Every structure is written in C-alpha cells, then in structure tokens.
Amino acid sequence: MIDNEELIQKLKLLDELQSNCNNCGLCLEACTTYQASGWEHESPRGRIRLAGNLINGYIKPESEILHTFDRCIACNSCELVCPSKVEYGKIRETVQEIRSDLIQKSPSKSNSVLKKWVKLCYRIGSDLWKQFGYKWLRWPVKSKGSYLKKNGAKSNKQQSITLSVSCVQDLFHHEILDDTIKFLRQIGLTVHLDKNQPCCGAIFDRIVKGGYEGISSPEEHKKAKIFQKRRLNRYKEWLKDSTTSVSLGCSCFVQKNVPEKSSYITDIHQLILQVVEERQLKILIPKEMTVYYQKYCCISGKREEDSIRILLEKVQGLTVKNIGNSMSCCGGYAFESIWHPENAKSLLAQTIQSLPEDAVIVVSSPDCYQQFKTNGGPQMRIVYPIQLFLEASVISC
C-alpha cells in the first residue's frame, strides 16, 4: 500500500500538471475518444478537470467516472496541438498510479490478458525468442521468423546507413522490409542491417503509460516498467550515429526517452526526403491515383514538419487526401486493435465512413497498419509510403 508521503508527492505533481490547462478546448479535435463519443469527459480537457476534482476530494479514486482514463488510448495527439504545452500523458499516468495505489484489487479477466501481453512483449523483444520461440507467439498473424537474423550482418564494415526495425516488423512484416531496402538502394543508398539490434522497449508502452490493464495489476505494471527500462538501456548502448528507423513508433519513442541521443536516429521518411531534395530526384507514379494518408500520432499537425506528407505530395500523379479528421488517432495506437478489438473497430469506423470501399490507405507504423488491416474494409489496400514509391519511377532532374 502507498505511504502518505508518496501519495502527497503524487497529488502535488498532479496539481501542478493539471493547473497548466487553460480550458481552450483545442485538444478536443485531436482526441479520437472524444470524436467518437462527443462526451466532454471523454476528452483530454474533461479528463484534466476530473483530475482536479480528484485532487480536491470531489470524487473518489474508485469513482466510475474515472474509468474514462482507462478508455484513453494514450496516443497523446492532444499534446501536439496544446498551446500551453500541458503534459496530458503525465497527468493520465499520475491519476492511474493514484487509482492503482488506492483501489482494492480483485482478480479479473483483464489481469490474465495483461500477464499474457507482458510475456508476449518480452518475447517479441527477446533475442532468444526471435531465434527459437517465434512460432509460439500469440499474434493475429503467423510470424515468419526474425528478418534481422536471416538478413543482418554482425557488424557494419562499410560506411552506410544502419536500419533500425521494430520488433513487430522484424517478425511479421518481411515484405515491407524487403521493399524498404530495395527502394533505398534504388535511390543510391548503402543499407546495413545489424542482426544484433536489440528491442527499444516501445512495445511495453501500452502497459507502462497507465491503461486499465496496468492499474488493475500493479505487479505486472511494475514488471513491464522494468522490462522496458532494460530494453531501452540496451538499445541506447547499441544506437549508432546515422541510424534510420523504419518504424515511426520506435523512432518517436527513442527520441522522447533518450533525448541525449535523439540526433542519432532519423525517421526513414526524413532521410528519403533529404536525398530526393539534395539529388533533385523526381518520383512518378505510372498511373494517376488517390491515396488517403493517416498521420501518425507523434507527428506535428504542421505540414512543414511532416516529411511523409511532403514526400507524398512530391510524387507526380499522386493525389493525397486526409482520412477524416487529420488531427486524431485512427484508434489503433499501441495495438488497441489487439487489446480491445471492439473499441478499436468503433474508433476507426467514424474515421473511414466517408472513404471509398477500395481506398488506398497510407500508414507509417505497425500499430496503424494492424488497425486498418484488421478493421478497415476488405477491399481497402493498406500500404507504407515506401511501397508506393517502389511502384513509381525515380528519375534525376
């Protein structure tokens, strides 16, 4: 049980964080749970007000109204649009820790799911499991084994860019990695894969960030934090200058949690944009087509800061449109489609309702890819940007 001094410190932190909100409401447009429900308490602003009520004793930690923090999928899109730079993610984590500390626990189905997920995340990021245990992973699709172990070299003996791939891509998205390497070589880059690349720990964020799955089982939440820290420390030691990440989810996680080495890792789309502009390359699609772009949650809403959007608009013959509300998450952040399939499906439904049945959806991270593959229409085509570029012709101006 939490001691009084620790509780006081958490309440002081929560009070300091929530007092920065000026109630402007700009976060509402970026919040997928608010967009889906229309309820104020399902928005960041509403949740921050509830945090204030919790501090002042107007509501109790076990109050049902606080379950809104459980339904938040922690994409933190709201932080990108907040003019006051309110740290909503920390507010949510602190509220969930207080609830976890003060609420009497009882065994539930979610505890069992949580334990399986912690084990699954640990195994996906484990070198041993990548070599021998992948066939037993409980994932919606069958693993093809570790791409890095099959195709990576032990060390980088020549000057080249080092690709960093996510654990999910390494085990399940081999075609995407093949296409990535093929296109990078096509534009004149030498690519290196390190077979000893460790997991960065991003896959544990679902539990660490304070979802209900974590607060309902403090032991598993604590274990996930330990696992994530180990993974991140190992990745930090491995991280080389001029590393390029194929997964936006991983690069965002690393840049946020290893600020002293944030310049070491670049998103692959930033690198491609730089090469295209420096070498004055043109990318031409053979047949005109329209694509619908799903912005990843950690990307700023400002067009000039979105290298993927800029790249797509440079492709001749390609018309780029947003999916629904371009500010909000697709509902698949941190693999919501696996944790809570019904919720993920309902969150995506309002996003894609106005799209053509055979729409081409462009995504940039495995959790978005999984969400649209699972809950998008059967005729929809889900692609990474590089897969589109590979279908095009690249010529020098």
**What is the model's pLDDT at position 131?**
47
Is the predicted pLDDT of residue 158 greater than 50, yes or no? no
Tokens of 333: 């952040």
What digits encode the pLDDT tens for the residues 323-334? Answer: 877 778 999 888
For residues 334 and 74, the answer to whether their CB atoms sit within 8 Å is yes
Query: Mean pLDDT, to the nearest integer, of 305-312?
Result: 93
Which residue's entry shows tokens 């245990």?
A: 133
Reference 247, options 153, 322, 173; nearest CA is 173
Tokens of 101: 């500390």
What digits encode the pLDDT tens for the residues 347-363? Answer: 999 889 889 999 999 99
Reference 207, options 129, 83, 119; nearest CA is 119
Helix (H, G, I), strand (E, B) or coil at 157: coil
- Strand 281-293 and strand 393-396: pairing? antiparallel
**What is the model's pLDDT at position 146?**
78
Residue with the larger pLDDT of the pair 295 and 304: 295
Tokens of 338: 């696996």
**What is the model's pLDDT at position 6?**
84
Helix (H, G, I), strand (E, B) or coil at 134: helix
Query: Mean pLDDT, to the nearest integer, of 51-64?
Result: 92
What digits encode the pLDDT tens for the residues 372-391? Answer: 999 998 999 999 999 999 99
- Strand 243-245 and strand 281-293: pairing? unpaired
Reference 145, options 170, 127, 119; nearest CA is 170
Query: Mean pLDDT, to the nearest integer, of 228-254?
Result: 93
Among 32-46, 123-137, 247-261, the least confident range: 123-137
What digits encode the pLDDT tens for the residues 159-182? Answer: 489 999 998 898 888 999 999 999
Helix (H, G, I), strand (E, B) or coil at 300: coil
**What is the model's pLDDT at position 153?**
62
Helix (H, G, I), strand (E, B) or coil at 245: strand
Question: What type of residue is 184?
Answer: L
Asked whether the CA dihedral 34, 40, 41, 43 is positive or negative, the reply is: positive
Nearest-Å Rg of the Cα atoms of the chain is 21
**What is the model's pLDDT at position 134?**
43
Query: Mean pLDDT, to the nearest integer, of 53-68?
Result: 92
Domains and CATH numbers, the chain: 4-105 (1.10.1060.10), 147-270 (no CATH), 279-396 (3.40.50)
Query: Mean pLDDT, to the nearest integer, of 270-282?
Result: 95
Instruction: Assign 155 a pLDDT band (cuts: 50, 70, 90).
Output: very low
What digits encode the pLDDT tens for the residues 98-151? Answer: 888 777 554 454 555 556 655 656 666 666 445 444 443 444 555 667 788 778
Helix (H, G, I), strand (E, B) or coil at 162: strand
**What is the model's pLDDT at position 157?**
45
For residues 50 and 71, the answer to whether their CB atoms sit within 8 Å is no
**What is the model's pLDDT at position 207?**
78
Distances (CA, A) of 296 to 148, 168, 354, 366: 25, 17, 20, 10
